Amino acid sequence: MRLTKQLLAACVISGSGCLNAAAADPDVNDWLEIEKAAAGQTVYFNAWGGSENINAYIEWVGARMQERHDVTVVQVKLDDTASAVSKVVAEKAAGKDENGSVDLIWINGENFVSMKKQDLLLSPGWATSLPNWRYVDAENQSTILTDFTEPTDGLESPWGGAKMVFFYDSARTDAGSLPDNSTQLLDWAKQHPGRFSYPAPPDFIGSSFLKQILSELIDDPSKLDEPVDERTFERDVEPLFAYLDQLHDVAWRSGHAFPQNYPDMKQKLADGELDIIFAFNPAEASAGIEAGELPDTVRSFTFSGGTLGNTHFVAIPYNANAREAALLTANFLLSPEAQLRKQDPAYWGDPTVLAMDKLPEEDRTAFQSLDLGVATLPPDQLGPVIAEPHASWMGRIETEWRRRYASGN
């Protein structure tokens, strides 16, 4: 059954009032018609613009889309994904249900949950109906089907994986002294005062560090699968903030200032100001070495008990102007060609969402031959994935962090 017919039936049964919106959606099963309609369209791809290599990758995607499909991809470079979400919210409030300004958005976590809850996304099921979905490793990567515990329902298409990994300079730091969990990290910081820090929330990397600590220390980890319970919130996060109180005493600048973001931490590692830093991309250290931003003695490590991991996605707003071209672009981002280039540290180093055993032999061989870089841990050494908490936790712990510590910035 075609996707649009399924959606129409669902809307009639539920009485949700989504009939008109669903009727206007492209039929993802009629791919030839989508390719025909997409020709000449311009996709305004709203994506974080803080990384030169990621921006260059999106430019490469745009060149391929122009060459093969006569589709123009324009990256709208964001500091914060929430600003694109706000655009769509404002357009819906103004009754602008067509010809929206956002065609494709790089998204996950609380921004996805917000758009899903407000019915701001293209109808369910489009992502799992893309031709290249057949290569996706949904069976073994659980975060592809749930985004910060929220079911994706085919409302967003996976683009890449992310996992917290730590980096150090082996020329300065003995590998035998490295911590293997958050408690050991605090002990290490006490033994090496001023040599560790993290970006202040709401920076994504900094907030992720808070979630990593909370995930390890909270009395009942299952609580993180559910929305924040304000009745028990203070008790639930007490171990996190007791930890941070101790950490700040021995952190870089005694916790009175914090690195701006990951690039700032990377520079401080290169300059010898910090001895351990972290990122959400296992290939980030190798990419930094390749770019001449880090010494070639930098290496990676992780915690044997697991570190935070998630999947990042692309989504299409319900009122996108270039829906067909956005679908075509999302499908290309899932192609073995695009995923291979994305995983190459020379271009980005972002882990693939594809299953190797589903790929044609030629593509599988290309992935297996890829040089992930001298500082990149192989997949079997990355350790378990700790799932992201429910999206409500991030905003709540960020607010609490600012209440306690912002005056020290």
Render pLDDT for 348-368 as a digit per residue (tens, 0 to 9): 889 999 999 999 999 999 999
- Which tens digit of pLDDT belongs to each residue from 207-257? 999 999 999 999 999 999 999 999 999 999 999 999 999 999 999 999 999
Q: Which residue reads 């694109």 in tokens? A: 84
Check if the beta carbon of residue 311 is closer than 8 Å to that of residue 18.
no
Distance (Å) of CA 169 to CA 178, 275, 398: 11, 7, 30
Q: How far is CA 46 from CA 83, 332, 350, 368, in A?
A: 9, 16, 18, 31
DSSP bridge partners of 73: 43
d(CA 7, CA 396): 35
Residue 13 tokens, joined: 């049964």
Q: What is the CATH number of domain 3-160+312-374?
A: 3.40.190.10
Q: How far apart are alpha carbons 59 and 49 in whole angstroms?
A: 12
Q: Taking the CB of residue 75, how many other CB atoms lie within 10 A of it? A: 21
Give the tokens for residue 172.
């300065």
The answer to whether 205 and 274 have CB atoms below 8 angstroms apart is: no
Tokens of 315: 């989504």
Spatial distance between the Cα atoms of 175 and 88, rounded to a whole number of angstroms? 48
Q: Please answer whether residues 329 and 321 qualify as being in contact, where contact means their C-beta atoms are separated by less than 8 angstroms.
A: no
238 vs 244: CA distance, rounded Å: 10
Q: By CB neighbour count within 10 A (0-12 exposed, 13-18 middle, 19+ buried), where does 146 fall?
A: middle
What integer pLDDT is reported at residue 287 of this predicted model?
A: 86
Neighbours of 306 (CB within 10 A): 19
Kindly report the number of other CB atoms within 10 A of residue 407's CB atom. 8
CATH topology of domain 165-309+384-408: D-Maltodextrin-Binding Protein; domain 2 (3.40.190)
Q: What is the pLDDT of residue 15?
A: 37
- Of 77, 305, 287, nearest in space to 213 by CA: 305
Residue 227: CB atoms within 10 A of its CB come to: 14
3-state SS string for the chain: CCHHHHHHHHHHHHCCCCHHHHHCCCCCCCHHHHHHHHCCCEEEEEEECCCHHHHHHHHHHHHHHHHHHCCEEEEEEECCHHHHHHHHHHHHHCCCCCCECCCEEEECHHHHHHHHHCCCECCCCCHHHCHHHHHECCCCCHHHCEECCEECCCCEEEEEEEECEEEEECCCCCHHHCCCCHHHHHHHHHHCCCCECCCCCCCHHHHHHHHHHHHHHCCCHHHHHCCCCCCCHHHHHHHHHHHHHHHHHHCHHHHCCCCCCHHHHHHHHHHCCCCEEEECCCCHHHHHHHCCCCCCCEEEECCCCCEEEEEEEEECECCECCHHHHHHHHHHHCCHHHHHHHHCCCCCCCCCCECHHHCCHHHHHHHHCCCCCCCCCCHHHCCCEEECCCCHHHHHHHHHHHHHHHHHC
Distance CA(347)–CA(349), nearest Å, equals 6
pLDDT in tens, the chain (409 residues): 334 434 333 343 333 334 334 346 899 999 999 999 999 999 999 999 988 889 999 999 999 999 999 999 999 999 889 999 999 999 999 999 999 999 999 999 889 999 999 999 999 999 999 999 999 999 988 899 999 999 999 999 999 998 999 999 999 999 999 999 999 999 999 999 999 999 999 998 999 999 999 999 999 999 999 999 999 999 999 999 999 999 999 999 999 999 999 999 999 999 999 999 999 999 999 989 988 999 999 999 999 999 999 999 999 999 999 999 999 999 999 999 999 999 998 898 899 999 999 999 999 999 999 999 999 998 778 888 898 999 899 999 999 999 999 864 4
Do the domains 165-309+384-408 and 3-160+312-374 match in fold?
yes
Identify residue 342 by its one-letter amino acid code. Answer: K
CA–CA separation, 111 vs 388, rounded Å? Answer: 14
Nearest-angstrom CA–CA distance, 55 and 59: 6
Domain regions of the chain by residue span: 3-160+312-374, 165-309+384-408
- Is 394 within 8 Å of 204 (Cβ atoms)? no
The predicted model scores a pTM of 0.80
